[in-house]
Amino acid sequence: FNTPEAVAGLQFLLDLVDVHKVAPSGVEAMGVYDVIGNFHSHRTSIGFGGPYEIGRITRYVKSGQLAEAFYPVIAPFPHVEGQKGASYASASGFVVFKQNDKEKRDAVMEFAKFLTNKENTALLESLIYLTARKSVNELLFQNDDYLNEQAQTFARIMDETGMEFFGSQSFPWSEISKFFTSSMEGAFGKTKTAQEALDSFVTEANRALSYY
C-alpha cells in the first residue's frame, strides 16, 4: 500500500483538489452521498457510483428530490497508461440453505431459478437499472437509445476490466479499514503527506494483522 506507485496515485488525487482545483475541498469529511449530491447538483461533472445512478436520477426527479433531469454516461475508472484498469461490481442474489428434505430443496431451487431467470431480471428495466449479466443487459432498453448505449458500455467495461469486489474472504478488512480511513482523512486534511499517510496505514495494518 505504500509503494512508490501507490503514493503517486494518492498524490494525484490530492493534486486534483489542491493543485488543479478540479475536485472539491473538504472531501475528508464527506460521505458517498455527499459526493454524489455534488454531482446531482452539477457542482461536479464526475460522480462516483455505479450504473444504478442513472436510475436514481430519474427516480429523484419523479419524487421531487431533484429539480432537473440529466443524462450521465458511464465511464471506467482512470488508470495509469500501460496498466490495466479495474472495475468492481457487487451483486445481490438468493441463498438456498442446506436442506436435507430433497422435495423441499428441489422446490426452493426451482423458485430461486425462477426469480433469477433472464425474463424476471430484465424487469429491472422498470426501475431503470442495469444488471451484472451481459445477456440480460442485451434485452434491456431496446426502445431507449441512451439507456441501451449505457447498458452496452457497462457490459464492455466489466468484460475488459471487471474484478471481484470482495477479494479474499480470509483477510480481516473490517478490522483494518478504520486505519485506511484515518490515513485518507490525514492526507486530504493536510495533516499528513501522501507518503506519511500510507506509511501510517501499513504500520497500523501490519500491527493488527500480527494479532489476527
Tens-place pLDDT, residues 56-112: 888 899 899 999 889 999 998 888 888 888 887 766 667 777 889 999 999 999 998
The secondary structure of 28-97 as a DSSP string is GG--HHHHHHHHHTTS-S-----THHHHHHHHHHHHTSSSS-------PPP--TTS---EEE--------
pLDDT attached to residue 155:
84
Can you say how many angstroms the Cα of residue 2 is from the centroid of all Cα atoms in its chain?
23
The answer to whether the predicted template modeling score (pTM) of the entire model surpasses 0.75 is no
**pLDDT confidence tier of residue 166, bands split at 50, 70 and 90:** low
> What is the C-alpha separation between 198 and 113, in angstroms, rounded?
45
User: For the chain, what is the largest distance between any 2 Cα atoms, rounded to a whole number of angstroms?
Assistant: 65
> What is the C-alpha separation between 56 and 64, in angstroms, rounded?
12
pLDDT above 70 (res 179): yes
Angle at 185 between CA 183 and CA 189, to 5 degrees: 125
- The better pLDDT of the pair 110, 32 is held by 110
> What is the C-alpha separation between 52 and 145, in angstroms, rounded?
17
- pLDDT (mean) for 183-209: 95
> What is the C-alpha separation between 128 and 130, in angstroms, rounded?
7
**pLDDT confidence tier of residue 5, bands split at 50, 70 and 90:** very high
